[in-house]
Amino acid sequence: MSLDKAPGKSNVLGTYRESGVASAAAAYDSRSSERHTGSSAAFFDVDNTIMRGASLFHFAAGLAKLKYFSGREIFGFGVKQMKFVLSGSEDLEDVASATTAALSFVQGRSVEELTRLSEIVFDDRMVDKLIPGTLAIAQEHIDAGVDVWLVTATPVELANLLARRLGLTGALGTVSQTDNGIYTGQLVGYPLHGLAKAEAVRALAASEHYDLSTCYAYSDSANDIPMLSTVGFPTAINPDPELRAYAKKMDWEVSDFRRRAQLRANAIPAAVTAAGIAAGLTAGYALGRVARGSKNT
């Protein structure tokens, strides 16, 4: 796909499907944990569902701090990417613009370098933005023997890191083309956003033999209604107004961990049921600090 031109409208659905299939294939090959024996899975959006704010922005800001690129580059990237994500636009020009911005800071860089820096950024900027109430729900699924997957527009390398640090099964994320471990500056299809997420979930369910009618999905955004609608048990978490209204209309479950009363009500159970995740995070954080400290001595 040419990056300076949006694809023809007749090709849009096919490109979303291509994105989903590529993400599912990458997820299948890089799972973080063994598959459970059941036929069910839980799919979690990341931004404002698992983590406060936009994970890609936190990631880019962390990379800027590490001098991966300049402040001017992050500003230009942020304006385009946030316009696309926050507007929920499926307009072809917006998709093309966001795609170009998403690729601009990785073209010619190595996958190994970005993966290594992801570890540092997670420890320094992202771990304290995780939402305990949502982590508790994820842990409940893990304890029940249900596979748990992240589904996010962020690069699959970062998505995999998040899944690994949280002890989840794996992640579906945006897939970039590479050549001998170097990013080419092209995506496989679109960013994993909107309809592409639903296609990724369907593709993964087919390869993993999940029964979608017994699966769960969680998101804060109306952009993810297609993904939420693919499963038997959708839940709106910290929903935006459009998703809240739609969830009420469809009689979907709603959980909001932003409210003070609910934060207090969930503080103790979240601390207990998310113990497995918390332990993994603490160990990973400490090991990351030690490893970096040893390199600097």
**pLDDT above 90: residue 254:** yes
Range 204-209 average pLDDT = 92
Contact call for residues 239 and 163 (beta carbons, < 8 A): no
Q: How many CA atoms lie within 13 A of 138 on its CB side?
A: 32
What three-state secondary structure class fits 127? helix
- Considering the entire predicted model, what is its pTM? 0.77
Domain regions of the chain by residue span:
9-295
Q: What is the pLDDT of residue 190?
A: 76
Predicted confidence (pLDDT) per residue in 99-108, tens digit: 556 566 677 8
- Confidence band of 268 (pLDDT split at 50, 70, 90): very low
Range 108-134 average pLDDT = 88
Is the pLDDT higher at 278 or at 176?
176
Q: What is the pLDDT of residue 73?
A: 57
Q: What is the pLDDT of residue 289?
A: 41
Q: Give the percent of the chain with pLDDT over 90.
A: 37
Is the pLDDT higher at 52 or at 277?
52
Range 225-232 average pLDDT = 97
Range 58-77 average pLDDT = 69
Q: How many CA atoms lie within 13 A of 57 on its CB side?
A: 18
**pLDDT above 90: residue 27:** no
Rounded to the nearest 10 degrees, how much is the dihedral formed by the CA atoms of 21, 26, 32, 35?
40
Helices then strands (H, E): number in the chain?
12, 8
User: Which member of 47, 123, 220, 224 is catalytic?
Assistant: 47
Range 220-245 average pLDDT = 95
Contact call for residues 293 and 120 (beta carbons, < 8 A): no
User: Which member of 45, 123, 147, 224 is catalytic?
Assistant: 45
Is the pLDDT higher at 66 or at 255?
255
Predicted confidence (pLDDT) per residue in 141-167, tens digit: 999 999 999 999 888 888 999 999 999
Residue 45 appears among annotated catalytic residues? yes
Range 110-137 average pLDDT = 90
Q: What is the pLDDT of residue 99?
A: 54
- Topology of the domain comprising 9-295: Rossmann fold (3.40.50)
- Confidence band of 72 (pLDDT split at 50, 70, 90): low
Residue 4 appears among annotated catalytic residues? no
Q: How far apart are CA 177 and CA 193, in angstroms?
A: 17
- Confidence band of 7 (pLDDT split at 50, 70, 90): very low
- Confidence band of 95 (pLDDT split at 50, 70, 90): low
Task: Count other C-beta atoms under 10 Å from residue 121's C-beta.
Answer: 24
- What letter would DSSP give residue 53? S
Picking from 187, 59, 182, the residue whose alpha carbon sits closest to that of residue 123 is 59
Q: Give the percent of the chain with pLDDT over 70.
A: 68
pLDDT, mean over the chain: 77
**pLDDT above 50: residue 193:** yes
Range 254-283 average pLDDT = 50
Q: What is the pLDDT of residue 288?
A: 42
Among the residue ranges 19-23, 29-33, 292-296, the one predicted with the least confidence is 292-296
